[in-house]
Amino acid sequence: WNYGSMLGMILIFQLLTGLFLSFYYVADGLVAFSSVQYIMYDINLGWLFRIFHFNGASLFFIFLYLHIFKGLFMVSYRLKKVWGTGLLIFLLIMMEAFMGYVLVWAQMSFWAAVVITSLLSVIPVWGQLIVMWVWSGFSVTSSTLKFFFVLHFLLPWLLMVLVMMHMVFLHSTGSTSSLYCHGDYDKISFGPYYWNKDFYNLLVFFIFFLLVLLKPFYLGDPEMFIEADPLTSPVHIVPEWYFLFAYAILRAIPNKVLGVLALLMSVLSFYFFLLFNNYTSCL
């Protein structure tokens, strides 16, 4: 279960780099984009923290998806509380990444905010009111940016609590294995095997640093270098690669309500695995 420990390390890495960036970022529509440029060009090592932070999100999602698929393969949904808290963490991280993307206040992030937040209007009766509440007005404005910045800053601390709950639930029962043998006689001590295994994490971080320093904006979009302009939209509104599956589902269905439902079910459907209990054990 190396992916879990790797995710913990990435979460702490993102917290530290994000905390540094928040010292200099200004959550105001007039100067948000300029403050990002200020961090990049005028703050000592600001460029380093910024490229580490936004590429760190990609690293986070790579291991998050590997962690989820390994959980499916190992029939980990039999651990109800672990699976439930894990999916909640995943949903919050998706929200967190989206709000962080908007904070740059560039063309692509601004219009992504307009498109995604307007999807809330499909909620019956209160939809329009909720959209206006999120926007803090009649369109995505500086107030929306402040709202997103506050949530983007606070959510990681909630994530830390949920991650601790996730681990408490996991270690109260023990994890799953490909052999489905869960007896204490199968378990080994942490040292030296697990400590050696965790050096794999350091190797991944080394490769990550290397790639980020060589190709810092490889996973970015050219529109992210253009300041947000409410009067002109980009030719194509494209999300980050880790949201492509959800956005493709949304755009594949012409009906807005059904598209949003399908988008939600692309993640929420994993909760249905909690209803299954068909696993074998050697105990």
DSSP for the chain, written as a single string: -HHHHHHHHHHHHHHHHHHHHHHH----TTTHHHHHHHHHHHSTTHHHHHHHHHHHHHHHHHHHHHHHHHHHHTTGGGSHHHHHHHHHHHHHHHHHHHHHHHHT-BHHHHHHHHHHHHGGGGSTTTHHHHHHHHHTSSSS-HHHHHHHHHHHHHHHHHHHHHHHHHHHHHHHH----TT----GGG---STTHHHHHTHHHHHHHHHHHHHHHHSTTTTS-GGGGSB--TT---SS----GGGHHHHHHHHH-SSHHHHHHHHHHHHHGGGGGGG--------
- The span from the CA of 110 to the CA of 231, in Å, is 11
Higher-pLDDT residue of 68 and 236 is 68
Catalytic residues: 171, 175, 197-198, 240
According to the model, what pLDDT value does residue 258 have? Answer: 96
Instruction: Give the pLDDT band (50/70/90) at residue 1.
Output: low
Which range has the worst mean pLDDT, 85-89, 192-196, 222-226? 192-196
pLDDT at 209 exceeding the cut of 90: yes
Task: For 116-153, write each residue's pLDDT tens digit.
Answer: 999 999 999 999 999 999 999 999 999 999 999 999 99
The fold for domain 2-275 equals Cytochrome Bc1 Complex; Chain C (1.20.810)
- Delimit the domains of the chain by residue range: 2-275
Residues 143-197: tens digit of each pLDDT: 999 999 999 999 999 999 999 999 999 988 777 766 655 566 666 777 777 778 8
pTM value is 0.92
pLDDT for residue 278: 58
Cα–Cα distance, 116 to 260 (Å, whole number): 10
Tell me the pLDDT of the chain averaged across its residues.
Answer: 91
- Distance between CA atoms of residues 108 and 140, nearest Å: 13
* 282 pLDDT more than 60: no
Looking at residues 199-219, what average pLDDT do you find? Answer: 93
Per DSSP, the residues of 106-130 read: BHHHHHHHHHHHHGGGGSTTTHHHH
- Of 177, 166, 163, nearest in space to 70 by CA: 177
Which pLDDT value is given to residue 191?
A: 73
The radius of gyration of the chain's CA atoms, rounded to the nearest angstrom, is 21
